[in-house]
Structure 1
Amino acid sequence: MNEKRSEQSGNARVGVRAKGGSLAPGSVVGDGRYRLLAQFGIDERAGAHLWRARDGQLRRDVALTLLVGDSADAESARLARKTLERAAHAAKFDHDGVARVLDVLSLGNGIASSEGLLGIVVTEWTKGTDLIDLVAEHPVAPLPAARMVEKLAEAVERAHHTGLVLGLDHPQRLRMTTDGTLRLAFPGPLPDATLRDDVKAIGAVLYLLLTGRWALPGGPAAIPAAPHAPNGRLVAPRSLQPQVPVELSSLAVRTIEDGGHAGIRTSAAILRALEMAAEAEERTQLIQAQAAAGVKTEDDGTIWTTKRPIKDKARRRKLALGVTVLVVAAVGILAWLGMLAISFFQNDPTSGPAINVAAPTATAAPPPNQAPPPPASPTGQAIGAPVAPAGISVFNPDGDGDNTSRANKTIDGDPTSFWRTDQYNQQFPTIKKGVGLIANFTGQINLAKVTIAADSPGTTVEIRVADSPHPDLASTRVVGTATLNGATTDVTLQQPQRTQYVIVWITQLAHAAGKYQSQIGELTFLPAQ
């Protein structure tokens, strides 16, 4: 039933394009061997038409990737040959996440010149659901989405070990199988596709499942394109769907974007991150289910059920009497100890006035009307009065903003109001390199010290300076570091820095109860005099 709906929607959605006008249900291709049944998509980048067909010789359904083009165009013919060569190499690859390549036909070798085709990739048919139909009504829940993509990531990892590029960077080439995993149903990588393109495609598929939007160029018109922020960065899935966990949201963005050292560039890395994110989401759902059922979980993993207290009046009276006796006894003991102390000091004949044994100091006190000198930096330069920023915002080059609406709480003069990071299941840099705040001033200041009021012991921060309000992390400069410990922490720069943009960058989060999260109450910026 799902398959029939997919075929019908595929025909209505894609239609027949002019350059493949001879392709229609009922037509035969491949020297009359394959009868076309239903079209499931078009990859416009390669002129690849994706069809379900019937193999008349072996009497079975197959998937056809038909390369449509003009055989007289030498460049089109060359690109088609490159795609066919890559598909032929994939015929030796065996994995459940990729449909098995059965045959590769080229012009003059299984394809007649009258068919208007440059090549055909024949693969086994994948039963299941069209990926576009899967997200047509609503996005997929985070945990199923992570599990669905894992099989695809495993296939990419194994293929890359053999040097193969799979070419799964188009959603209509993928289908969900009957066992709930994703599969590359129409292999045929683009001539210039790289290993990196496969990795980015995994992130794009995860993004599609979580949001219903496609984040790579060249996607089908049936799927809305993913939005981008004014600075050009991809909007995180969590911003579109708040129920998406931070780990999965960041994983999708970091895999798609080329974020330098912050990006995920290998299939092995994304597979490990997917497994950890899925396990974390499973634990979260288990805890939520236990809480809904009246089950509590201790930090050591022990599970116990709460019971309504027994209303035993006699037992309660005995307990109250015992508590009263203990309180009276404690008060009596304290009074007796107090009397002993008073008696001791009153009867000591040798007691006298306190003697000052401190050595005299050579430093004279300042005159009554002279203010003490201002504090100095390690270089001996005096530090001036605090300078208030013109504004402050969350700095997150990975694309996910943590609690962006509360960033201004760190400069409102009230240490009891605070900005807090998202709560993470893994410490930085497992999911992303870090997160922070960027303060901007009306003009350049000669920054000498930053004071951080925060109740997040163990948080490691870097003070960075930047040359623009929206910098990449790699373009910023580290000028001071500290580990927060206590109510306030001073980060004094070795040398004052002239800058208009100051970043407080968190590289390690505070750890409590198996979670990772930090908060900042107030930031004070002090220049050199």
Structure 2
Amino acid sequence: MNEKRSEQVGVRARGGSLAPGSVVGDGRYRLLAQFGIDERAGAHLWRARDGQLRRDVALTLLVGDPADAESARAARRTLERAAHAAKFNHEGVARVLDVLSLGSGITSGEGLLGVVVTEWTKGTDLIDLVAERPVVPLTAARMVQKLAEAVERAHHSGLVLGLDHPQRLRLTADGTLRLAFPGPLPDATLRDDVKAIGAVLYLLLTGRWALPGGPAAIPAAPHAPNGRLVPPRSLVPAVPAELSSLAVRTIEDGGHGGIRTSAAILRALELAAEAEERTQLINAAGVKPDSDGTIWTTKKPVKDKARRRKLALGVTVLVVAAVGILAWLGMLAISFFQDNPNSGPAINVAQPTPTAGPPPSTEAPPPSPTNPPPGQAQVGAAVEPSSAAVFNPDGDGDNTSRAKNLIDGDPGTTWRTDQYRQQFPTVKRGVGIIVGFDNPINLAKLNIQGGSPNTVVELRSADSKNPDLESTRVLGKATLNGPSTDITLPQPQQGQYFLVWITQLTNSSGKYQSQMGELTFLPAQ
């Protein structure tokens, strides 16, 4: 008899006794359709009919064995948090109508530990939304922006919403995301809500879920061999770099570029959405940027014969005028260099005798790569790196095929970053070039040629070709200005891999992009 009772409780704990047409909550709520299961909390998400008020409601059923003390404790904590959220009012969160617990609306024979009753949200299931294709990036940003506003408001009130499961969310008829099944996990934190916003953005952009405990109906987001989350842009090239980086930085823990608060992600979403709107307006106007950021019209020139004749006549007049000016300048030059007898006696310039040498100089020679200022190490001949690759911990890298131009010995061949609409670190923490040598060198100075002005770079030491940014160490810093910039180390540093890390891009009329021509590494003598 006891074995049979235990078996029945086990079935109920897995939700086996829950089916459309069943009633819960002392017979008040009739189950209509199930919309998902959050396995982490044993939470079954249902649409139901309130028999007393004759309206549809959303039920979060906490299924479990009342005899399990730990499960009962976790359920009580979830119910307490849901009860506190009943005072919260925002269009991005379904209003909590009632909270039922054991002995208060729930009997032990129902196989339930508690029920959270909320108003029903009409709309579309999030899994159905991304089933066929990802959402357009701008639309995804705006959808998540509304959800982030709700999180920000809740966090100011000291509430954790618990939206880190896609089946708890629904898309409303007006195109906004809404937490339809509230009921945060007992140990959920404010940080979990923030990570959930990034995961929802990742899901809309790629159709993949990037947090643990997601539903089986949604593929898990892939990770690189180093354990880092693969950016959405790598899966869907149409995703803008700003949104791709934003999703990764919000989800992943650690690092100086991570987004850890709801206010920060809300501001970043606003900037990313505005930038994407400007891009769409430019595309709609029929213009497109060239590879260097210059915008050219896509309209074909009009074939107007009269206009072409006027243009040809104007060019001819300009050519004739230019020839006349050049001839006049030539005559002036000839008369200037001809001897003039009335100009006075010629001036004799004394020539040094073969035996007389120049007087000894009392000034110190200027600093040079082999003759540095006092107090700095003597440097030797440049050491040629064996490799150069783009280092971008927040994405795939910028112009990766041109990284080798920085170590080819020709400053005229350059590498440049992608063009961004926002400055670092809003979009990403930065981007750089990781340079490797066949053997460790004792580096004393780095010379950068052909750098964009006002670009800020750091020289960092690294322990491998693919390090974590947090494991690298800053050796020196400089703002590029002029055709050549040096980063001279206070003390030579031994190493085989070095990172030239850009922390600030050159700003040109609101477009952010930098380039470099050649990296020269000078060891200590």
Counterpart residue number, 2:252:
257
2:84 to 82, 89, 99: 89
Residues 424 and 319 (structure 1 numbering): CA distance in 2 closer, same or farther, change over 3 Å?
A: closer
Deviation of 1:419 after TM superposition, in Å, equals 2.7
TM-score normalised to the size of structure 2? 0.89
Counterpart residue number, 2:397:
401
Counterpart residue number, 2:3:
none
Unaligned runs of 5+ in 2: 1-10
2:487 to 481, 491, 497: 491
Does structure 2 conserve the Cα–Cα contact (< 8 Å) formed by 1:379 and 1:495? Answer: no
Residues 143 and 346 (structure 1 numbering): CA distance in 2 closer, same or farther, change over 3 Å?
A: farther
User: SS at the partner of 1:102?
Assistant: strand
Q: What's the CA shift string for 1:438-491, capped at 9, x where partnerless?
A: 222333211011122334222111111134444433332222222222333222
Deviation of 1:324 after TM superposition, in Å, equals 5.0
Does structure 2 conserve the Cα–Cα contact (< 8 Å) formed by 1:377 and 1:492? Answer: no
Equivalences for residues 311-330 of structure 1 within 5 A:
311-312=305-306, 315-316=310-311, 319=314, 322-330=317-325
Residues 509 and 118 (structure 1 numbering): CA distance in 2 closer, same or farther, change over 3 Å?
A: same
Equivalences for residues 17-56 of structure 1 within 5 A:
19-56=14-51
Unaligned runs of 5+ in 1: 1-15, 367-371
Distance 1:346 1:482 in 2: 58
Residues 22 and 362 (structure 1 numbering): CA distance in 2 closer, same or farther, change over 3 Å?
A: same
Deviation of 1:401 after TM superposition, in Å, equals 2.8
Distance 1:411 1:335 in 2: 45
1:230 aligns with 2:228: no
Counterpart residue number, 1:276:
271
1:285 to 280, 285, 299: 280
Residues 114 and 419 (structure 1 numbering): CA distance in 2 closer, same or farther, change over 3 Å?
A: same
1:417 aligns with 2:416: no
Residues 93 and 304 (structure 1 numbering): CA distance in 2 closer, same or farther, change over 3 Å?
A: same
Distance 2:369 2:20 in 1: 89
> Which is further off, 170-179 or 332-341?
332-341
Residues 305 and 63 (structure 1 numbering): CA distance in 2 closer, same or farther, change over 3 Å?
A: same
Does structure 1 conserve the Cα–Cα contact (< 8 Å) formed by 2:96 and 2:119? Answer: yes
Q: What's the CA shift string for 1:99-157, capped at 9, x where partnerless?
A: 11111001111112111100000111111111011111111111000000000000000
User: SS at the partner of 2:305?
Assistant: coil
Counterpart residue number, 1:101:
96
Deviation of 1:328 after TM superposition, in Å, equals 4.5
1:389 aligns with 2:388: no
- Specify the code of the residue in structure 1 equivalent to 2:183: G
Counterpart residue number, 1:4:
none
Does structure 2 conserve the Cα–Cα contact (< 8 Å) formed by 1:377 and 1:448? Answer: no
User: SS at the partner of 2:438?
Assistant: strand
> Which is further off, 194-203 or 303-312?
303-312
Counterpart residue number, 2:360:
361
Counterpart residue number, 1:135:
130
Q: What's the CA shift string for 1:295-316, capped at 9, x where partnerless?
A: 99xx9x9x99997374327745
- Specify the code of the residue in structure 1 equivalent to 2:252: E
> Which is further off, 143-152 or 434-443?
434-443
- Specify the code of the residue in structure 2 equivalent to 1:457: P
- Specify the code of the residue in structure 2 equivalent to 1:191: P
Equivalences for residues 450-489 of structure 1 within 5 A:
450-489=446-485
Distance 2:348 2:202 in 1: 78
> Which is further off, 138-147 or 422-431?
422-431
Q: What's the CA shift string for 1:301-343, capped at 9, x where partnerless?
A: 9x99997374327745753563355234313421332243134
- Specify the code of the residue in structure 1 equivalent to 2:237: P
Distance 1:248 1:46 in 2: 31
> Which is further off, 140-149 or 513-522?
513-522
1:219 aligns with 2:214: yes
Does structure 1 conserve the Cα–Cα contact (< 8 Å) formed by 2:37 and 2:43? Answer: yes
Does structure 1 conserve the Cα–Cα contact (< 8 Å) formed by 2:13 and 2:63? Answer: no
Q: What's the CA shift string for 1:242-263, capped at 9, x where partnerless?
A: 1111111111011001133211
Counterpart residue number, 2:329:
334
Does structure 1 conserve the Cα–Cα contact (< 8 Å) formed by 2:433 and 2:500? Answer: yes
User: SS at the partner of 2:286?
Assistant: helix
Distance 1:84 1:24 in 2: 23
Q: What's the CA shift string for 1:485-510, capped at 9, x where partnerless?
A: 23332222121111222110111111
Q: What's the CA shift string for 1:248-290, capped at 9, x where partnerless?
A: 1111011001133211000000000000000001111111111
Does structure 1 conserve the Cα–Cα contact (< 8 Å) formed by 2:169 and 2:181? Answer: yes
Residue identity (%): 71
Distance 1:356 1:412 in 2: 45
Does structure 2 conserve the Cα–Cα contact (< 8 Å) formed by 1:62 and 1:125? Answer: yes
What is the number of equivalent residue pairs in this alignment? 504
Q: What's the CA shift string for 1:172-196, capped at 9, x where partnerless?
A: 0001111111110100000000000
User: SS at the partner of 2:47?
Assistant: strand
Does structure 2 conserve the Cα–Cα contact (< 8 Å) formed by 1:295 and 1:306? Answer: no
- Specify the code of the residue in structure 2 equivalent to 1:161: H
Deviation of 1:218 after TM superposition, in Å, equals 0.6
TM-score normalised to the size of structure 1? 0.88
1:508 aligns with 2:504: yes
Does structure 1 conserve the Cα–Cα contact (< 8 Å) formed by 2:19 and 2:31? Answer: yes
Distance 1:345 1:523 in 2: 54
Distance 2:208 2:70 in 1: 33
- Specify the code of the residue in structure 1 equivalent to 2:248: V
User: SS at the partner of 1:261?
Assistant: coil
> Which is further off, 465-474 or 494-503?
465-474
Does structure 2 conserve the Cα–Cα contact (< 8 Å) formed by 1:233 and 1:399? Answer: no
Distance 2:77 2:436 in 1: 52
Q: What's the CA shift string for 1:410-445, capped at 9, x where partnerless?
A: 223343433322211111122222111122233321
Residues 190 and 378 (structure 1 numbering): CA distance in 2 closer, same or farther, change over 3 Å?
A: farther
Does structure 2 conserve the Cα–Cα contact (< 8 Å) formed by 1:234 and 1:399? Answer: no
1:438 aligns with 2:437: no
Deviation of 1:392 after TM superposition, in Å, equals 2.8
Distance 1:217 1:495 in 2: 46
Deviation of 1:400 after TM superposition, in Å, equals 4.9
Distance 2:24 2:66 in 1: 16
1:177 aligns with 2:176: no
Residues 24 and 306 (structure 1 numbering): CA distance in 2 closer, same or farther, change over 3 Å?
A: same
Distance 1:399 1:304 in 2: 30
1:429 to 419, 425, 430: 425
Residues 209 and 346 (structure 1 numbering): CA distance in 2 closer, same or farther, change over 3 Å?
A: farther
